[in-house]
Amino acid sequence: MQLKPVSLDVIAEARDEAHAVVMTLMARLAPGEHVVRLGVDMEGQERPLSATLPITVEGDGSADDLVGAEPKYLENFVFLLTCGLAQTLCSGVMYLRSAAPGDDEVSTVQAWRLCWGALTECPAAEAADLLGGGEPGAYVDAFGVHCEDGDDGCEAVYPPVAYTVL
């Protein structure tokens, strides 16, 4: 089966939403090193396309923290997420691995299911099933990453000045 064509307006809207999702995600991260992975499966593909986004948060957990990601990883991640959000026949998973506060050896894992153009947060048990236990760590409930209606594009989620490029 071939994917249906998507209008430029739908792609632009999906790209804006993908940026808002990434900003919302970054705004919720505690200081430390984090890795976000995204897999998008399109009808007729042998295996999902994937993107990885390492994120560093420096600071003390306040609004003044600096959140950084390398541009090449950020753009690849946003592009793939845009495709998944724009093309409702895609499915996939996005998950976040973060070091637990104060313990470099323990990681937490949160996951979101991509289906019908939206990322839906997964409870811990569903995330473990979705990832098939392939990600070691403590699974925790994920938070919502989509803009709420009336949120002015989620720009106020985190001060834009706090974002850095590594």
Q: Is residue 2 assigned to a domain?
A: no
How many domains, the chain? 1
Nearest to 139 by CA among 119, 111, 102, 105: 111
> For a pLDDT cut of 70, what percent of the chain falls above it?
83
Measured CA to CA, the distance from residue 100 to residue 114 in angstroms comes to 25
Split at pLDDT 50, 70, 90, the class of 38 is very high
Average pLDDT over residues 73-92: 93
Asked whether residue 40 is domain-assigned, the answer is yes
Mean pLDDT (the chain, rounded): 84
- Structural domain includes residue 1: no
Contact residues for 151 (Cβ-Cβ < 8 A; gap 6+): 157
Query: How do residues 7-24 score in pLDDT, each as one tens digit?
Result: 899 999 999 999 999 999
The pTM of the full predicted model, rounded to 2 decimals, is: 0.83
Residue 100 belongs to domain spanning: 8-165
Q: Is residue 134 part of a domain?
A: yes
pLDDT in tens, 92-144: 999 999 986 666 667 999 999 999 888 999 999 999 999 987 788 899 999 99
